[in-house]
Amino acid sequence: MRDNYRIGSIFGIPLELHVSFLLLLLFFFMYSAFTLNPEPFIYIVMLFATVTLHELSHSLVARRYGIRISKITLLPFGGIASMDEMPKDPKKEFAIAIAGPGFNFIVGGLSLMVIAAFGGLGEISPFFELKIRGLMDLLVVFFKVNILLGIFNLFIPALPMDGGRVFRSLLAFKLGFPAATEIATGIAKLIAIFMALTGVLLPNLWLIFIAFFVYIGATQEGEVSRINLMLSGLKVKDLMSTQVVAVDSDITLEEFAEIMFEKRHMGYPVVSEGKLVGIITFSDLSRVPREEWSIKRVGDVMTKRLLTIGPEEEAFEAFMRMARAGVGRLLVVDEGRLVGIISKTDLLRTLEIMRLMRY
């Protein structure tokens, strides 16, 4: 089962639904259908709409700063807007992080004013009782969902939740991003452990789920930050391998396997009539049954999507681009000419050596 399901796009940003949210929507739909009571389904749809708008607020502020959002993943308690780069300016990270909960509080406040104007303030308490008898109750539920989502996301200072991002950006004003991230991820992990233990004791499955999400997210955030720090100042041209062995798209896999055995690289650019047309890797070859190697050609199994990077770009950018695309290597192209190839192995080897030199 996949983790995320693409459901559409909004302002050109792909929107994905996390499997937990999908199951929740289905569950509430079935529940409503079987009990002939539409309320549970209305709640969950309202939560879905609110989370979407919350994430959109983050994305629009990020876009205003020129930071590209590659996708938005919706989770029942919030979402993740995957940015194409790490924020380098604490002011920007602060503004992007606060935009989501800020939107919830503004919308919540506006709903409250409308509720008050129509004399419905008495409907709000008790806070955790949700009843829908008319339009006013619908608005009251909308108010509560927004306030809860805003509070939950802003006031838990655990990366990668919004509160954690706000916390990190505030630290970064004083300490800079690398040190701020070390502290913020450490605290986030402690909070996650505390949440998980509370979840086990209560017991509350949601808390355990969120704890996992926070722990894994904080760990990744910390690792990426450390890699960013170690690779800083290094360019693609410093780490790429220039001994590029290109293969022709017309040769058979049998012939390709021989070249691979001789040269011992894991990935090769593919050319046809002198033009770059794709890339073929060891894993492309290993997917084809051995008996078909003599009939199939490199052009049949190569990856046609060309992921490239310039030699003057930062090594960390190469790392992020590979991680996002889920590939192991990028072709280094300078003014349309292939000048090298950079692989995750090249980057990891450099990191290993640098780690060794540091201690």
Least separation in angstroms between CB 99 and Zn ion? 8
Out of 40, 90, 100, 340, the residue judged to bind Zn ion by CB under 5 A: 100
Which secondary-structure segment (H or E) carries 74?
strand 69-75
Which residue lies nearer to Zn ion by CB, 123 or 162? Answer: 162
Q: State the Cα–Cα distance between residues 17 and 8, nearest whole angstrom.
A: 9
Given a contact cutoff of 8 angstroms between Cβ atoms, the answer to whether 114 and 137 are in contact is no
- The CB density around residue 276, as the number of other CB atoms within 10 Å, is 17
Does the annotation mark 16 as catalytic?
no
Which residue lies nearer to Zn ion by CB, 78 or 340? Answer: 78
Residue 291 is classified by DSSP as: G
Q: State the Cα–Cα distance between residues 354 and 178, nearest whole angstrom.
A: 17
Which residue lies nearer to Zn ion by CB, 195 or 298? Answer: 195
Which residue lies nearer to Zn ion by CB, 75 or 171? Answer: 75
Q: Choosing from 55, 123, 221, 317, which is the catalytic residue?
A: 55
Least separation in angstroms between CB 66 and Zn ion? 20
Letters for 70-89 (x = contact with Zn ion by CB under 5 A, - = none) are --------x-----------
Residue 205 is classified by DSSP as: H
Strands (E), 136-290: 247-248, 267-272, 275-281
Given a contact cutoff of 8 angstroms between Cβ atoms, the answer to whether 234 and 314 are in contact is yes
Whether the CA torsion 24, 28, 33, 38 is positive or negative: it is negative
Which secondary-structure segment (H or E) carries 343?
strand 337-343
- The size of the interface with Zn ion (CB under 5 A), counted in residues, is 4
Letters for 150-189 (x = contact with Zn ion by CB under 5 A, - = none) are ---x--------x---------------------------
Residues 6+ apart with CB under 8 A from 312: 235, 236, 237
- The CB density around residue 305, as the number of other CB atoms within 10 Å, is 9
Least separation in angstroms between CB 286 and Zn ion? 41
Least separation in angstroms between CB 105 and Zn ion? 12
Which residue lies nearer to Zn ion by CB, 100 or 164? Answer: 100
Residues between 27 and 56 with contacts to Zn ion, criterion CB under 5 A: none
Q: State the Cα–Cα distance between residues 100 and 60, nearest whole angstrom.
A: 10
Residues between 235 and 254 with contacts to Zn ion, criterion CB under 5 A: none
Residue-wise DSSP of 165-177: HHHHHHHHHHH-H
Q: Which two tokens stand for residue 134?
A: 């008319």
Which residue lies nearer to Zn ion by CB, 28 or 103? Answer: 103
- Closest of 144, 21, 48 to residue 152, by C-alpha: 144
Residue 288 is classified by DSSP as: S
Chain position whose Cβ is nearest to Zn ion: 100
Least separation in angstroms between CB 51 and Zn ion? 9
Q: State the Cα–Cα distance between residues 12 and 30, nearest whole angstrom.
A: 32
Length of the chain: 359
Which residue lies nearer to Zn ion by CB, 215 or 256? Answer: 215
Least separation in angstroms between CB 293 and Zn ion? 50
Q: Answer yes or no whether residue 102 interacts with Zn ion by CB under 5 A.
A: no
Least separation in angstroms between CB 148 and Zn ion? 13
Letters for 117-156 (x = contact with Zn ion by CB under 5 A, - = none) are ------------------------------------x---
Q: Any idea which residues carry the catalytic annotation?
A: 55
Q: Which residues bind Zn ion (CB under 5 A)?
A: 78, 100, 153, 162
